[in-house]
């Protein structure tokens, strides 16, 4: 029988209480002290979404679903969660895999689009952990059919909230986390992959009004990718378009960038502009996406000669 293969499911991480916010920000900032004004602002955002980030339990739910999809027909996979900036850290997850006798693992970040400033940082953190577990990383999956099918389902569900009289005119605004514009100097594929995801979803939905926008730009002076989603909503209002559905495609679970940046801040701006704004449910553990990821993990393990 083949030796078991580990699956390291990774996500960004987030504070699990308001008292965690400052040490979490310290981790995110490479242990440079965070100005008190910023700490207070971020803490207030978490206070408005329930006092904690739901990213860990939601990622664990995704990992359980993936583990169930993988462990069929006699195959043996051991799936654990590791976070980049909070507990359980990636290094701790690798230590648990090692303690379980796992020597080889597939690394999967629960974000589909590659950038040196995003996915590659997870790969670097795995390498820096110094684990004896050999990890084969999956760096991208922007056009994974199961992911696109899941997104299309969520958009259809979101559109169903609008009455038939207005549904065809609803603009779907696809969003992803902004990154510094300097990634373009590296021919970074991030923007192209986002566009490919949008094209794949629209192919499944049929032609309809849509835009791609960026959100949650960092608090720095350098230029970030745009257009910003707030600017796009303002443009829709100026054009007389009063109904929009926000579809975050750069994330697979909820966290502060979704629950606050979109559901609180952007929704308030839309209300001020008299634009009706709805948001799709996150893809989460949608069966189509999980099935597609399971096949991707199996193929990655097979490509290493582990299966």
pLDDT digits (tens, 9 = 90+) for 89-136: 999 999 999 999 999 999 999 999 999 999 999 999 999 999 999 999
Average pLDDT across the chain, whole number: 97
Using the predicted structure, report yes or no on whether residue 224 has a pLDDT greater than 70: yes
Using the predicted structure, report yes or no on whether residue 157 has a pLDDT greater than 70: yes
**pLDDT score of 232:** 98
User: How is residue 70 written in tokens?
Assistant: 């993988």
Share of the chain above pLDDT 70, in %: 100
pLDDT digits (tens, 9 = 90+) for 55-86: 999 999 999 999 999 999 877 999 999 999 99
Which domains are assigned to the chain? Answer: 5-141+285-303 (3.40.50.1400), 145-279 (3.40.50.1400)
239 to 233, 271, 275: CA distances (angstroms): 10, 16, 11
Using the predicted structure, report yes or no on whether residue 239 has a pLDDT greater than 90: yes
**pLDDT score of 75:** 79
3-state SS assignment for residue 11? strand
Using the predicted structure, report yes or no on whether residue 307 has a pLDDT greater than 80: no
Share of the chain above pLDDT 90, in %: 95
Using the predicted structure, report yes or no on whether residue 1 has a pLDDT greater than 70: no
Choose the weakest-confidence range: 36-40, 103-107, 201-205, 218-222: 218-222
Strand partners, 137: 107
**pLDDT score of 302:** 96
> Which band of pLDDT confidence, cut at 50, 70 and 90, is reported for residue 292?
very high
Using the predicted structure, report yes or no on whether residue 165 has a pLDDT greater than 90: no
CB 192 within 8 A of CB 143: no
Using the predicted structure, report yes or no on whether residue 54 has a pLDDT greater than 90: yes
209 to 143, 145, 173, 231, 236: CA distances (angstroms): 21, 22, 9, 17, 11
pTM of the model: 0.96
**pLDDT score of 155:** 98
- CB atoms near residue 297 (< 10 Å): 25
Positive or negative, the CA dihedral 146, 147, 148, 150 is: positive
**pLDDT score of 73:** 80
Which helix or strand (DSSP H or E) is residue 105 part of? strand 104-109
> Which band of pLDDT confidence, cut at 50, 70 and 90, is reported for residue 287?
very high
* Mean pLDDT, residues 226-249 taken together: 98
End-to-end CA distance of the chain: 10
* Mean pLDDT, residues 196-223 taken together: 96
């Amino acid at each position: 029988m083949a030796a078991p293969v580990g699956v390291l499911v990774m996500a960004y991480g987030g504070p699990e209480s308001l008292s965690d916010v400052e040490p979490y920000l310290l981790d995110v900032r490479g242990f440079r002290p965070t100005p008190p004004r910023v700490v207070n602002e971020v803490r207030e955002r978490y206070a408005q979404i329930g006092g904690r980030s739901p990213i860990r339990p939601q990622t664990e739910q995704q990992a359980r679903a993936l583990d169930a999809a993988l462990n069929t027909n006699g195959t043996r996979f051991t799936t654990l969660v590791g976070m980049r900036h909070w507990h359980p850290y990636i290094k701790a997850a690798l230590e648990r895999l090692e303690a379980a006798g796992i020597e080889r693992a597939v690394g999967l970040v629960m974000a589909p689009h590659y950038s040196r400033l995003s996915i590659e940082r997870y790969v670097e953190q795995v390498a820096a952990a110094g684990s004896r577990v050999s990890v084969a990383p999956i760096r991208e999956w922007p056009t994974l059919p199961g992911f696109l099918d899941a997104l299309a389902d969520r958009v259809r569900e979101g559109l169903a909230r609008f009455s038939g009289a207005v549904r065809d005119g609803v603009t779907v605004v696809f969003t992803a986390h902004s990154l510094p514009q300097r990634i373009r100097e590296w021919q970074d594929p991030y923007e192209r992959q986002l566009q490919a995801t949008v094209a794949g979803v629209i192919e499944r939905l049929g032609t309809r009004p849509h835009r791609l926008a960026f959100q949650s730009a960092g608090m720095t002076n350098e230029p970030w990718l745009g257009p910003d989603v707030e600017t796009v909503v303002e443009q829709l209002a100026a054009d007389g378009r009063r109904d929009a559905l926000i579809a975050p495609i750069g994330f697979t679970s909820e966290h502060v960038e979704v629950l606050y940046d979109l559901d609180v801040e952007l929704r308030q701006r839309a209300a001020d502009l008299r634009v009706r704004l709805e948001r799709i449910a996150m893809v989460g553990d949608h069966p189509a996406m999980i099935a597609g990821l399971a096949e991707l993990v199996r193929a990655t393990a097979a490509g290493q000669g582990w299966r």
